[in-house]
Structure 1
């Protein structure tokens, strides 16, 4: 049983992957309390109090409840009193075997998360694409003409958290970047950045200011030589765009020293690191190559490990692999 308070951002992709993997289905509060099946909260942060209450009530009768921490960084490092209280509660919940809190980052990337979580999986958007979706991206990529400009894409909602101001300003002030790259922003532009989008278009950039469909998103990845993930500290928790790029073997541009940078280094994900001031300088140099087959192998490995950890956390029977004849 799956619980998600909203159906925005990455939740629909999570739902599709978990429905495909476990035959899971959504439920509400009453369903969670009476269900004998294990319950998985898709995002603890959006319903923290409810998560704690449901975990305790279900633990009393020995029923499994698990939840995903999608934004663990601030929770485990902030000194704000709200974060300190939540840390203490999640740490206390670890004493209940029926409660299994998981992060979507390896503990090797964020060791402090082990204080509040029993385990971790890879962000589902690191391994959720089907073979058909991989094939579609590969086909679109082969249709690209040799000699085209390199393409750097910024995907998702274009806002301060995604570094849209830096993305547009870097393009506008550097003629060398405009000669070498085509900058494309795909996703709804936050109202505060409408002016940035206008200046960006005037300089020759492409801004698609609307909600992008799943098919259009895959098309944007197919066109990309590198994907923008150089987010400021406020957006450092976001890994979905990076995860899809990793699955498809597309290098990402990340902020040096960020959580995303550490994740790429630990997992050997093709990437280029840059500071906010050094974007143009880094993009003037060679880029890591796209490698679709490497991306598929990586996604397969991420999926295998994550499925095993989810099954263990939910108390489900592990998959059996038929013996060779």
Structure 2
């Protein structure tokens, strides 16, 4: 678990650990014999299409991850409709594999624009050392007479920080039941909400957390705030780490996060903004570290199988696959380990 913000660093770390991935230069995108993976197709869509088609003509594999598939899948806007059409056509090419980071069972329309899916890396990337550190900190924790509700990461409107702070300040029932804790840099345009939170008795740590502090924040929390508006519905890193550690999450009712939690039977409380006091003063799901560990292992197994197939790699052994969520060495036996000249995926720099 790292305090560095953004998905790309976390994704690249996971690919490095599992497959020996490395950053690629521009010429590598077209010439590398190894599979090339784009970590955010939406950000470089035209380049992804061009590289994928050229490499397909050369008999080489290209893999793309859709991090925010919803607009492309359903938006009526012309730019999204055109991307939707292109991705549907590209599905006919066996050397190009577009993957979403959301299961099709969560939103079936994604299957029209992608070949397959994996679970978000941030749902299965917690190491055994990090897990043990959190468990150790939990044992040392001295519970108070209130639950701790924590908002982690950059605090912004996209992360629902305004609702987080205002709800705590407005409702005395929440202040009696919870300590609201915000850990992460507060966006300048929303700084007044941090003052509102603190004046009501909450805590705002307005800076980037170290890795150790991030682990400590999870260990100190009874529930994690993931109630994001539509603009932040794609964000899942904070939710993913909470899920892996068996900590309940608060999600917006009807959101992708809510659908994921329902489909995968994850610990959660679904809340509509107008029902926040009713839902958060009701029963809270208890933490379940064993279930979080099991879920992470299951997510890792399914995702690695899909990625290996997309990269054109041989399947991992059953025994190896069973331990993928705990082992930090590259997947597969030494003879099957990817190298830069064969099957190591590359990321465009």
* Alpha-carbon distance, 1:8 to partner: 5.1
Change in 2 beyond 3 A, CA 1:191/1:131: same
Deviation digits for residues 92-139 of structure 1, max 9, x if unmatched? 111111000000000000111111100000000000111111101111
Q: CA deviation at 1:193?
A: 0.3
Query: 1:117 pairs with 99, 108, 114, which one?
Result: 114
Counterparts of 2:252 and 2:40 in 1: how far apart (Å)? 25
Contact 2:14 2:125 in 1 (8 A): yes
Corresponding position of 1:78: 75
CA contact (8 A) 2:174 2:277 kept: yes
Match of 1:57 among 29, 54, 63: 54
Residue 227 of structure 1, aligned match among 224, 227, 231: 224
Question: 1:190-209, CA deviations, whole angstroms, 9 ceiling, x for partnerless residues?
Answer: 11101111111111111111
Q: Partners in 2 of 1:287 and 1:310 — Cα distance? A: 36
In structure 2, what is the Cα distance between the partners aligned to 1:83 and 1:62? Answer: 29
Written as runs of structure 1 = structure 2, the 5 A alignment for 1:198-217 is: 198-217=195-214
- Cα offset, 1:86, TM superposition: 0.8
Task: Report the counterpart of residue 44 of structure 2 in structure 1.
Answer: 47
Residue 140 (structure 1) aligned with residue 137 (structure 2)? yes
Deviations 1:130-172 (A, max 9, x none): 1111101111111111344211111111111111111111000
CA shift for structure 1 position 16: 1.2
Number of corresponding residues: 317
Aligned mate of 1:21, from 13, 18, 23: 18
- 1:35 corresponds to: 32
Q: Distance in 2 between matches of 1:214 and 1:62?
A: 42
Determine if contact 2:5/2:153 at 8 Å carries over to the other structure: no
Does residue 12 of the first structure (1) align with residue 2 of the second (2)? no
Alignment equivalent of 1:274, drawn from 262, 265, 271: 271
1:131 aligns with 2:97: no
Other structure's SS at 1:105 match: coil
**Normalising by the residue count of structure 2, what TM-score does the alignment of the two structures yield?**
0.88
Superposed counterparts of 1:163-242, under 5 Å: 163-242=160-239
Deviation at 1:322, TM superposition (A): 5.9
Pairing partner for 1:315 from 312, 315, 325: 312
Matched residue SS, 1:183: strand
Unaligned segments of structure 1, at least 5 residues:
1-6
Give the TM-score normalised by structure 1: 0.95
Q: Give a deviation string over 1:264-284, Cα, whole Å, max 9, x none.
A: 000000101111011122111
CA distance in 2, matches of 1:148, 1:306: 40
Report the equivalent of 1:158: 155
Deviation at 1:31, TM superposition (A): 1.4
Q: CA RMSD in A?
A: 1.4
SS of the residue aligned with 2:24? coil
Gaps of 5+ in 2: 321-349
Note if contact 2:123-2:244 (Cα within 8 Å) is conserved in structure 1: yes
Higher relative contact order (CA 8 A, sep 6+): 2
Structure 1: how far apart are the matches of 2:226 and 2:12? 24
Within the candidate set 292, 297, 300, 1:300 is matched to 297
CA distance 1:207–1:147, shift in 2 (3 Å): closer
Q: CA deviation digits over 1:18-44, x for unaligned, max 9?
A: 111111111121112111011111111
Per-residue displacement from partner, 1:251-297 (whole Å, max 9, x unpaired)?
Answer: 10011111111110000001011110111221111100101111001
SS in 1 for 2:104: coil
Cα distance in structure 2, aligned partners of 1:17 and 1:155? 21
